[in-house]
């Protein structure tokens, strides 16, 4: 009751410091066909990502009410087979700010639309390294970490644990292959050895359940320090744990994982964000939710500090030294000015606890320790930001 | 800190303390142990441990020190304890998730930050009734009240503002932006200044109270620590407000800031993730809570050196003095 009474007074008494400012943000979700997996224990939430943007909207609105700044969020979802570009064009007709959950090829086609020139698109779902490299776009920022950031984070843990002799099992989906590629690069970068690899191919002659198949499947690896699983869609990986021929730790897509976000993060004030999210949506916050939240908050932070709503001012501010986002990861988050990637610590978790947070102590960098994760400026071939 | 260093510090603590501090206690809330530890300021040892509600954080005494108020965040209550017996006398209605609070100079009204609700709750400690709830920014935390009692401050971590509350009307009269993640606020210089720490921004902002405008901004630089890890949180002023001692979080240092020139004069190595602090009776010693290392560092204020670490409970958070 008190709350209602005082909310009323806040609206009446607290005159905005600035003139009224309104920022419209679009959220575009492009559905992709989901291949079958061996288990449906963890279905993807239907509002994965969007829910994070909505929580970010609430945060922005609360802050904005003291400054005379308001925000809206318009969502469009594109079913498999429907025209994603038309949906993007429709949203871009209403606002230059889009948070996009789409595969890399669709993202690029949206970014290259004439309507998107001068817009600010946030990639909140695609980890493809090329989007931060040769395929980068000046109108696209990445609030989701690249695959390379996550595999570098895990490689730092492997170095610290001295698990230097590794084997890997890779699934057959494109996401698995991309993850395995990123992992190989990370292992080389951090001086680790990949002594053997196998592909988990459901078409092979495997007549028993995955759990029964695994001991034999992993027997030929011989001895090693840790096993990497590249199973980004969550197909077979869960059956590898505790079924391997050798008793060794499992890392990668299963076991010890490098994540954008996880419900087990409670440090750095994260408990507050988790409980705010859970109260609003009735479920745990995922990495994709976090990336969409961070995109929304990036815009909110830029509007708060500049009181502007034009893309040029906001983009300049976001990429300036003055910008910093408090992202519940213990450090200020900033954007890499050479490819638009949001710098962020990466959580190393198992399902019950946070194990470490990369960058780990001792991994140094001449500019920012967070740049030990993912492709760095000297190796990036991104030209759109020059 | 190595064992050898600890031993040296302990030896120094005994040898260096030629002038005994006047008697008193420092009360420490242990966030993950649901207890308070009571430290004797003479012997520098934990003399009592009392149980509290869940996740105790903010702690403060009534003006006559006959009551201690404790924010039991996860119990959604402010608990009132008899400090002589450690008995919980009753709970105050506090709103959800009370994190930090400040007692008005009238000794009656508590201003409480409700972290999960974006609200500041004002409670009358005598009638045990909620007097007002004030909408503030996301994740309110830092709380302060001016010495004349006319202004209360709430800082909000995600909104990045200091909200100025007129205590005669319980209404906001100003909202001022600060750097990212403001954590703590204090009035200084007879209430003419209001200081706010920004954890992620890495700065302290000094406001002129009369105009609510920024008067100075203080940054920190700890040798060998990346600037991102230098995160100012709790701070307190020395006698006469000549200096501020500022906890710098995961950089494991406390900074000494000259409150006239706003220059940082010293950095003192303390325990891990230093949070909040309290002085002893004559302000000759400062006790800092070190969240990660689970201990309290005792700093000799005159020499600006850490003289002892005292093991307390898990994740010590708040600190308060009583004679």
Look at residue B41 and give its three-state secondary structure.
coil
pLDDT of residue B1: 46
**DSSP letter, residue B181:** S
The pLDDT tens digits of the residues spanning B129-145 come to: 999 999 999 999 999 99
Q: Which of A284, A357, A267 shows the shortest CA–CA distance to A55?
A: A284
Q: Which residues 150-209 of B are in CB contact (within 8 Å) with A?
A: 156-161, 163, 170-172, 175, 177, 179-181, 199-202
Asked if the model's pLDDT at residue A11 lies above 60, the reply is no
* A308 and A185 co-located in one domain: no
Asked if the model's pLDDT at residue A16 lies above 50, the reply is no
Asked if the model's pLDDT at residue A365 lies above 50, the reply is yes
pLDDT of residue B96: 84
Are B157 and A3 inside 8 Å of each other by CB?
A: no
Q: What ipTM was estimated for this complex?
A: 0.79
- A207 CB contacts (<8 Å, ≥6 apart)? none
Q: Contact at 8 Å (CB) between B229 and B251? A: yes
Query: Which of B115, B116, B228 has its CB closest to that of A331?
Result: B228
* A332 and A286 co-located in one domain: yes
Which of A4, A5, A61, A63 is the best residue to mutate to test the B interface, defined by the most B CB atoms within 10 Å of its own CB? A63
Span B227-235, mean pLDDT? 93
- A53 CB contacts (<8 Å, ≥6 apart)? A25, A27, A73, A75, A99, A124, A292, A293, A295, A296
Q: How many distinct structural domains can be found in chain A?
A: 2
Are A368 and B139 inside 8 Å of each other by CB?
A: no
Searching chain B, which residue's CA lies closest to the CA of residue A3?
A: B133
Span A382-386, mean pLDDT? 90
pLDDT of residue A231: 96
A/B interface, count of CB pairs below 8 Å: 84
Residues in chain A with CB shorter than 8 Å from the CB of B180 are 324-326, 332
Question: CA distances (Å), B288 to each of B29, B46, B113, B252, in order?
Answer: 12, 14, 22, 11
Question: CA distances (Å), B205 to each of B185, B212, B213, in order?
Answer: 10, 11, 10
Of all residues in chain A, what percent carry a pLDDT higher than 70?
94
Per the domain annotation, does A251 fall within a domain? yes
Residues in chain A with CB shorter than 8 Å from the CB of B133 are 2-3, 6
3-state secondary structure chain A: CHHHHHHHHHHHHCCCCCCCEEEEEEEEEECCCCCCCCCCCCCCCCCCCHHHHHHHHHHHHHHHCCCCEEEEEEEEEECCCCCHHHHHHHHHCCCCEEEEECCHHHHHHHHCCHHHCCCEEEECCCCCHHHHCCCCCCCEEECCCCHHHHHHHHHHHHHHHCCCEEEEEECCCHHHHHHHHHHHHHHHHCCCEEEEEEECCCCCCCCCCHHHHHHHHHHCCCCCCEEEEECCCCCCHHHCCCCCCCCCCEEECCCEEEECCCCCCCCCCHHHHHHHHHHHHCCCCCHHHHHHHHHHHHHHHHHHHHCCCCHHHHHHHHCCCCCCEECCCCCEECECCCCCEECCCEEEEECCEEEEEECCCCCCCCCCHHHHCCCCHHHCCCCCCC
Are B228 and A17 inside 8 Å of each other by CB?
A: no
Q: What's chain A's average pLDDT?
A: 92
Span B7-29, mean pLDDT? 63
Of all residues in chain B, what percent carry a pLDDT higher than 90?
88
**Residue labelled with tokens 């040892």:** B45
pLDDT of residue A42: 83
Q: Strands A97-101 and A120-123, how do they pair?
A: parallel
Residues in chain B with CB shorter than 8 Å from the CB of A67 are 175
The pLDDT tens digits of the residues spanning B151-204 come to: 999 999 999 999 999 999 999 999 999 999 999 999 999 999 999 999 999 999
pLDDT band at A206 (very low <50, low <70, confident <90, very high): low
Instruction: Please state whether the peptide bond connecting residue B160 to the residue before it is cis, i.e. omega within 30 degrees of 0.
Output: no
Q: Which residues 193-222 of A are in CB contact (within 8 Å) with B?
A: none
Give dist(CA B316, CA B247) in Å, integer.
14
* A21 and A107 co-located in one domain: yes
Per the domain annotation, does A379 fall within a domain? no
pLDDT of residue B227: 87
A191 is written with which tokens? 């001086």
Per the domain annotation, does A125 fall within a domain? yes
Searching chain A, which residue's CA lies closest to the CA of residue B162?
A: A66
* A251 and A272 co-located in one domain: no
Q: Contact at 8 Å (CB) between B74 and B96? A: no
**DSSP letter, residue B229:** G
Q: What is the CATH number of the domain that holds A288?
A: 3.40.50.2300
Span A40-60, mean pLDDT? 93
Asked if the model's pLDDT at residue A7 lies above 70, the reply is no
Asked if the model's pLDDT at residue A303 lies above 70, the reply is yes
* A135 and A276 co-located in one domain: yes
Which of A66, A267, A367 is the best residue to mutate to test the B interface, defined by the most B CB atoms within 10 Å of its own CB? A66
Give dist(CA A129, CA A182) in Å, integer.
8
- The range of the structural domain enclosing residue A250 comes to 148-259
Span A189-203, mean pLDDT? 92
pLDDT of residue A204: 67
Per the domain annotation, does A286 fall within a domain? yes
Residues in chain B with CB shorter than 8 Å from the CB of A300 are none
Asked if the model's pLDDT at residue B18 lies above 70, the reply is no
pLDDT of residue B224: 86
Per the domain annotation, does A378 fall within a domain? no
Question: CA distances (Å), A46 to each of A49, A50, A51, A57, in order?
Answer: 9, 9, 9, 19
Which contacts qualify for A40-47: CB closer than 8 Å, 24 or more apart? A41/A238, A42/A234, A45/A283, A45/A286, A47/A281
pLDDT band at B17 (very low <50, low <70, confident <90, very high): very low
Span A76-93, mean pLDDT? 96
The pLDDT tens digits of the residues spanning A334-345 come to: 999 999 999 999
pLDDT band at B66 (very low <50, low <70, confident <90, very high): very high
Residues in chain B with CB shorter than 8 Å from the CB of A272 are 115-116, 139, 157
* A255 and A179 co-located in one domain: yes
Give dist(CA A384, CA A340) in Å, integer.
10
pLDDT band at A13 (very low <50, low <70, confident <90, very high): very low
* A229 and A292 co-located in one domain: no
pLDDT band at A17 (very low <50, low <70, confident <90, very high): very low
pLDDT of residue B86: 96
Per the domain annotation, does A92 fall within a domain? yes
Å between A331 CA and nearest CA of chain B = 6
The domain boundary, picked from A214, A237, A259, lies at: A259
Per the domain annotation, does A369 fall within a domain? no
Are A6 and B135 inside 8 Å of each other by CB?
A: yes
* A241 and A304 co-located in one domain: no
The pLDDT tens digits of the residues spanning A122-150 come to: 999 999 999 999 999 999 999 999 999 99
pLDDT of residue B63: 96
H or E element at residue B288 = strand B285-290
Give dist(CA A63, CA B159) in Å, integer.
5
Residues in chain B with CB shorter than 8 Å from the CB of A17 are 175
Span B287-312, mean pLDDT? 97
pLDDT band at B19 (very low <50, low <70, confident <90, very high): very low
Asked if the model's pLDDT at residue A322 lies above 60, the reply is yes
Cα A269–Cα B258–Cα B293 angle in degrees, nearest 5: 35
The domain boundary, picked from A232, A259, A286, lies at: A259
Are B171 and A13 inside 8 Å of each other by CB?
A: yes
- B217 CB contacts (<8 Å, ≥6 apart)? B179, B203, B204, B205, B206
Per the domain annotation, does A354 fall within a domain? no
Query: Which of A67, A326, A332 has its CB closest to that of B158?
Result: A326
Span A325-352, mean pLDDT? 96
Its pTM stands at 0.87
Q: Which of B73, B100, B69, B71 shows the shortest CA–CA distance to B82?
A: B69
Least confident of A37-41, A260-264, A362-366, B309-313: A37-41
The domain boundary, picked from A231, A259, A287, lies at: A259
**DSSP letter, residue B157:** T
pLDDT band at A4 (very low <50, low <70, confident <90, very high): very low
* A178 and A119 co-located in one domain: no
* A123 and A228 co-located in one domain: no
* A248 and A152 co-located in one domain: yes
pLDDT of residue B15: 45
Q: Which residues 94-153 of B are in CB contact (within 8 Å) with A?
A: 115-116, 118-119, 130, 132-135, 137-139
Are B172 and A3 inside 8 Å of each other by CB?
A: no
Searching chain B, which residue's CA lies closest to the CA of residue A331?
A: B228
* A290 and A156 co-located in one domain: no
Span A277-294, mean pLDDT? 97
Asked if the model's pLDDT at residue A12 lies above 70, the reply is no
Å between A217 CA and nearest CA of chain B = 43
According to DSSP, the residues that pair with B245 across neighbouring strands are B236, B256
């Amino acid at each position: 009751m008190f709350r209602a009474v005082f909310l009323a007074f806040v609206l009446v008494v607290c005159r905005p410091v600035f003139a009224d400012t309104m920022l419209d943000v679009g959220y575009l979700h492009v559905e992709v066909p989901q291949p079958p997996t061996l288990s449906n224990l963890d279905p993807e939430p239907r509002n994965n990502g969007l829910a994070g943007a909505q929580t970010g909207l609430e945060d922005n609105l609360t802050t904005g009410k003291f400054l005379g700044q308001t925000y809206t969020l318009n969502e469009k979802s594109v079913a498999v087979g429907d025209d994603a570009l038309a949906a993007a064009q429709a949203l871009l007709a209403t606002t230059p700010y889009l948070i996009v959950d789409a595969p890399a090829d669709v993202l690029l086609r949206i970014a290259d639309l004439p309507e998107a020139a001068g817009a600010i698109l946030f990639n909140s779902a695609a980890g493809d390294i090329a989007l931060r490299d040769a395929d980068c776009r000046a109108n696209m920022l990445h609030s989701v970490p690249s695959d390379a950031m996550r595999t570098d984070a895990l490689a730092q843990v492997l170095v610290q644990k001295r698990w230097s002799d590794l084997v890997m099992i890779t699934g057959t989906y494109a996401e698995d292959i991309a993850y395995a590629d990123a992992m190989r690069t990370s292992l080389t970068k951090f001086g680790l050895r990949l002594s053997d690899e196998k592909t988990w191919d459901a078409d092979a002659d495997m007549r028993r359940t995955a759990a029964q198949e695994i001991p034999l499947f992993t027997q030929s690896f011989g001895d090693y320090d840790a096993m990497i699983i590249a199973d980004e869609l969550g197909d077979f990986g869960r059956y590898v744990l505790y079924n391997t021929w050798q008793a060794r730790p499992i890392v990668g897509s299963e076991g010890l994982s490098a994540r954008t976000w996880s419900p087990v993060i409670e440090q750095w004030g994260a408990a507050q964000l988790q409980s705010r999210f859970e109260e609003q949506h009735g479920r745990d916050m995922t990495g994709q939710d976090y990336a969409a939240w961070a995109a929304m908050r990036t815009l909110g932070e830029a509007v708060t500090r500049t009181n502007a709503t034009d893309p040029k001012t906001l983009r300049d501010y976001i990429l300036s030294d003055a910008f910093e986002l408090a992202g519940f990861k213990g450090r200020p988050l900033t954007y890499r000015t050479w490819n638009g990637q949001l710098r962020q610590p990466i959580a190393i978790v198992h399902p019950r606890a946070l194990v470490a947070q990369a960058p780990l102590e001792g991994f140094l960098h001449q500019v920012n320790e967070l740049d030990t994760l993912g492709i760095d400026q000297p190796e990036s071939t991104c030209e759109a930001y020059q | 800190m190595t064992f050898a260093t600890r031993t040296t510090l302990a030896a120094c603590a005994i040898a260096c303390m030629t002038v005994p501090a006047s008697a008193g206690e420092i009360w420490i809330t242990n966030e993950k142990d649901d207890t308070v530890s009571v430290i004797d300021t003479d012997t520098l040892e934990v003399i009592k441990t009392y149980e509290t509600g869940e996740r105790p954080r903010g702690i403060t005494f009534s003006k006559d020190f006959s009551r201690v108020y404790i924010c039991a965040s996860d119990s959604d209550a402010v608990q009132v304890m008899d400090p002589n017996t450690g008995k919980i006398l009753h709970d105050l209605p506090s709103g959800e998730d009370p994190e930090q609070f400040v007692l008005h100079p009238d000794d009656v009204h508590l201003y409480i930050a409700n972290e999960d609700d974006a609200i500041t709750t004002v409670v009358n400690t005598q009638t045990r009734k909620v007097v007002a709830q004030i909408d503030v920014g996301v994740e309110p935390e830092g709380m302060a009240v001016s010495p004349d009692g006319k202004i209360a401050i709430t800082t909000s971590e995600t909104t990045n503002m200091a909200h100025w509350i007129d205590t005669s009307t319980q209404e906001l009269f100003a909202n001022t932006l600060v750097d990212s993640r403001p954590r703590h606020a204090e009035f200084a210089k007879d209430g003419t200044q209001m200081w706010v720490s920004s954890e992620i921004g890495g700065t302290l902002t000094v406001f002129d109270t009369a105009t609510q405008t920024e008067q100075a901004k203080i940054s920190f630089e700890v040798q060998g620590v990346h600037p991102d890890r230098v995160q100012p949180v709790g701070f307190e002023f020395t006698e006469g407000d000549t200096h501020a001692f500022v906890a710098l979080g995961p950089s494991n240092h406390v900074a000494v800031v000259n409150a006239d020139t706003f220059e940082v004069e010293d950095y003192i190595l303390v325990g891990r993730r230093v949070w909040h602090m309290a002085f002893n009776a004559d302000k000759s010693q400062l006790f800092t809570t070190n969240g990660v290392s689970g201990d309290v560092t005792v700093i000799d204020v005159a020499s600006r050196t850490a003289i002892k670490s005292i093991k307390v409970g898990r994740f010590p958070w708040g600190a308060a003095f009583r004679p």
